[in-house]
Amino acid sequence: MDITRFPRRHYTCGITPIEKLERFSQALGVAGLTVYIKRDDQLGLTGHGNKTRKLEFLVADALTQGADTLITCGGVQSNHCRLTLAAAVKEGLHCRLVLVESTAGAYRPDGGGNVLLYHLLGVEKIITVPWGTDLPEALKQAATEASAEGRKPYVIPLGGSNPLGVLGYIACAEEIVAHHLNIHHIVLPVGSAGTLAGLLLGLRGHGRSIPVTGMSVLNPRDRAEATAMSLVQATAAFLGIETPVSGNDVVCLDDYLGEGYTLPTDGMIEAVRLLARTEGILLDPTYTGKAMAGLIDLARQGHFKKGQNVLFLHTGGTPGLYARPEIFSRRKAGSSHPPAHS
């Protein structure tokens, strides 16, 4: 599966490591199970995270087209928006963001976490829209406005999840295959589903039948799986190949989503604390914390066999920790959920 023919920027020096989580694995209390972690929280650009891989292809295309302004969308505490802005800064481009508020007034210019970074990085304009807004249409309107001002905008969809962005995780799959580690299962968070789609295409394209379980943090299972499969098919068509991924390959559990996107769960809090206190590695409360909660629960249920190696894909997002410190400093397991801010 050749992706070298596509223009690509390079924002990371080398490849991200795979680490063995010895103390974390012991703390799980599941005999014979070893958990590894792929550190995509160490990818390049400000604050790091999985969207960097997608942006390497998307921004290269924007530059090829002569764009001078990147426009994208996400939640108020969007890691994708932060990284798109960072890529724009790196390339000397302007950047405008469409932020979705889950509740009225959720976006505050003086907010912490990613909001602080938007302004520190010099975002040109922030447009806020309510939850349920037609985001492709909102992005189109933002691009029309930029064009009217004499700009050459380039629109990047939610999460960078289109066939070009998916190439980033085909590249990640190639890194995993090249590591020659005997992995029996892979677990990762799923939002806009581009990461899962690319990983499956890359693994199956290299003849690897490793089961991959996505933990949905945004949508119900049926919608998450349909989105991922649609991206798989669209990307295969984009590459001009027959898809090596079957419908049975696409698994997105919604058991660990809780009450909704960005809303904390007790399992997420336990997972974030456990990895921090055993390995000194930070997860985030929206994506990786919930995905790791799923891995922990599946392990305790006996889903993984004795002697297996499970790889967790760390997609980054740790600036989100600093937007909601009260989740970890005040809330104890079993207490009520605080309101969402993004």
Structure tokens at 334: 């079993």
What is the bridge-based pairing of β-strands 309-314 and 34-39? Answer: parallel
User: What b-and-e string marks burial along 293-308, b requiring 16 or more CB atoms within 10 Å of the CB?
Assistant: bbbbbbbeeebbeeeb
Taking the C-alpha atoms of residue 320 and residue 285, their distance in angstroms, rounded to an integer, is 7
d(CA 165, CA 147): 23
Of the listed 78, 161, 216, 342, which one is catalytic?
A: 78
Query: Do 46 and 83 form a contact (C-beta atoms < 8 A)?
Result: yes
Strand duo 185-190 + 309-314: pairing: parallel
Q: Which helix (H) or strand (E) holds 198?
A: helix 194-205
Among candidate residues 233, 211, 231, 235, the one with its CA nearest the CA of residue 223? 231
Whole-number Å distance between alpha carbons of 24 and 251? 25
Provide the angle, in degrees to the nearest 10, between the axes of the packed helices 221-239 and 194-205.
50
25 flagged as catalytic: no
| Number of residues written out for the chain | 342
Q: What are the beta bridge partners of residue 253?
A: 215
* Residues annotated catalytic, as ranges: 78
